[in-house]
Amino acid sequence: MTQALNHSGLTPAPGLEGLVVAETMLSEVDGQKGDLILRGERIEDLAGKTPFEDAVAHLWADLVPRSQGDLRASFAKARELAVAAIPAMANAPRELDIFERLRLGICALPLDLELTSGERICGAMPVILAAAARLENGDQPIAPDPTLSSAEDLLHMLTGNEPERSAVEALDRYLVTILDHGLNASTFTARVIASTGADMKDAVAGAMGALKGPLHGGAPGPVLDMIDAIGEPGNAASWIEQELSAGRRLMGFGHRVYRTRDPRADVLKEGLALLPQDNPKLQLAEAIEQAALAALAKAKPDRKLETNVEFYTAVLLDAIGIDRALFTPLFAVGRTPGWCAHMVEQQRTGKLIRPASRYAGPMPG
Ligand code: ACO
């Protein structure tokens, strides 16, 4: 561990690239092989095969405190408790965006002695997200149904309708796919906040702030904007070339760690097979992906830029019928259990994260 803590060089690594600053047993991201391992299981062996609540239990095993019983029941109870946080979200200023309302909801969650903090927060996320989305549209939030899974209840609370089984399965697969991913920006943020001794709600609210940016979790909305702007397969190559020559980045491509395809992109692409195939966006997305990969290889031959998770996140969530404004907040629903596990792991080290900086300003005369 702690290459960074021993890093006494005078030149800071931009973006801390390549520095190891924590030890974790939660997930391993092998950027050369294109592997993502969650506590010993490859992501492709978990997502689509293990329900979200069981995958969280796998990630949390012997680390994150839990109450008695199975996690599906604890999360259902957390959803019922979370209803008490809705008035704080409803009474907030009208101009707050969904993410800001989501953070308010997290902060307003009531205490409960039966559930642990991790269960209360992670279980509550579907209620908070659905309520934030409905309030934004001027609709009344819908009460949770504790007999449903997190994914099914989330879809039910968004629309009030009984969701299609295929949509539930696809959403569940998505939530598992994004559970945890090494020391990405939001997880690092969560660990920094947790290392100060702040509580889980504070660290989740802070991690959400880091997730919101377009270089991290904010990419899938712009991916869908790109797909819409291209409109048909024949326009892909010229549209992409124009973007690259204007110096703009293609959202959904490139990654700090992966020098090959992000394995989560394939897991989500496979999930599309669960959904109705008469959707013209599916073929369009594939054509755009091929055109983008070819253009990026030509424009940046020294930097391997491949499809990342956000490209097929956008395609999958859109095919499920989820509004693009909810893509990034929904990422937070799937990632919160990962953040919470990292917080516990960090607090177990008992060490404050406090790196050093190199002063580059003037000295007193
Ligand atoms: N489109 C075009 N060029 C790109 C892209 C892209 N998507 N990504 C990187 N590049 C180029 C950069 O312009 C840079 O070129 P240069 O060396 O000629 O200046 C080079 O590749 C290296 O880019 P960096 O920003 O140094 O690489 P970094 O590892 O910091 O960036 C990042 C990773 C932020 C994800 C980047 O690839 C990007 O901006 N992608 C688009 C946004 C996106 O899809 N984000 C989601 C990531 S997945 C997630 O966080 C859940």
Bridging pattern class, strands 41-42 and 27-30 = unpaired
**Ligand 1 residue neighbourhood (C-beta within 6 Å):** 15, 184, 215-217, 219, 249-256, 300, 303, 305, 308-310
- Give a three-class secondary structure readout of 9-26: CCCCCHHHCCCCCCCCCC
CA pair distance 149, 52, nearest whole angstrom: 8
Closest CA relative to residue 281, chosen from 253, 245, 317: 317
Of 255, 289, 306, 345, the active-site residue reads 255
3-state SS of 84-143? HHHHHHHCCCCCCCHHHHHHHHHHCCCCCCCCCHHHHHHHHHHHHHHHHHHHHCCCCCCC
Q: Is 217 helix (H, G, I), strand (E, B) or coil?
A: coil
Token pair, residue 87, equals 């008035």
Q: Where are the domains of the chain?
A: 27-213+324-349, 220-319
- Ligand 1 centroid to Cα of residue 339, in Å, is 23
Is the pLDDT reported for residue 1 higher than 50? no
Q: Is the pLDDT of residue 70 over 60?
A: yes
* pLDDT on residue 2: 40
193 touches 203 (CB < 8 A): yes
Please report the atom of ligand 1 found closest to the CA of residue 296.
Answer: 2
Q: How far is the CA of 123 from the centre of ligand 1 (A)?
A: 33
Burial class (CB in 10 A: 0-12, 13-18, 19+), 17: exposed
**What percent of the chain shows pLDDT beyond 90?**
92
Mean of the pLDDT values across residues 2-17? 63
**The pLDDT of residue 120:** 97
**Which of 36, 177, 208, 215 for a ligand 1 pocket mutation test, highest count of atoms within 8 Å of Cβ?**
215
Known active-site residue 310: yes
Q: Is residue 5 pLDDT above 60, yes or no?
A: no
pLDDT digits (tens, 9 = 90+) for 113-161: 899 999 999 999 999 999 999 999 999 999 999 999 999 999 999 999 9
Topology, domain 27-213+324-349? Citrate Synthase; domain 1 (1.10.580)
Question: Half-sphere exposure of 53 toward its Cβ, with a 13 Å CA cutoff?
Answer: 21
pLDDT band at 12 (very low <50, low <70, confident <90, very high): confident
Residue range 303-362, pLDDT digits in tens: 999 999 999 999 999 999 999 999 999 999 999 999 999 999 999 999 999 999 999 999
Cβ-in-10-Å burial (0-12, 13-18, 19+) of 326 comes to buried
Q: What is the CATH number of domain 220-319?
A: 1.10.230.10
Residue range 176-210, pLDDT digits in tens:
999 999 999 999 999 999 999 999 999 999 999 99
Pocket test for ligand 1, best of 216, 239, 308, 309 (most atoms within 8 A of CB): 308
Q: Is there a catalytic annotation at residue 255?
A: yes
What percent of the chain shows pLDDT beyond 70?
A: 97
Atom of ligand 1 nearest to the CA of 309: 48
Amino acid in the structure at residue 355: P
Return the residue whose CA atom lies nearest to atom 32 of ligand 1: 255
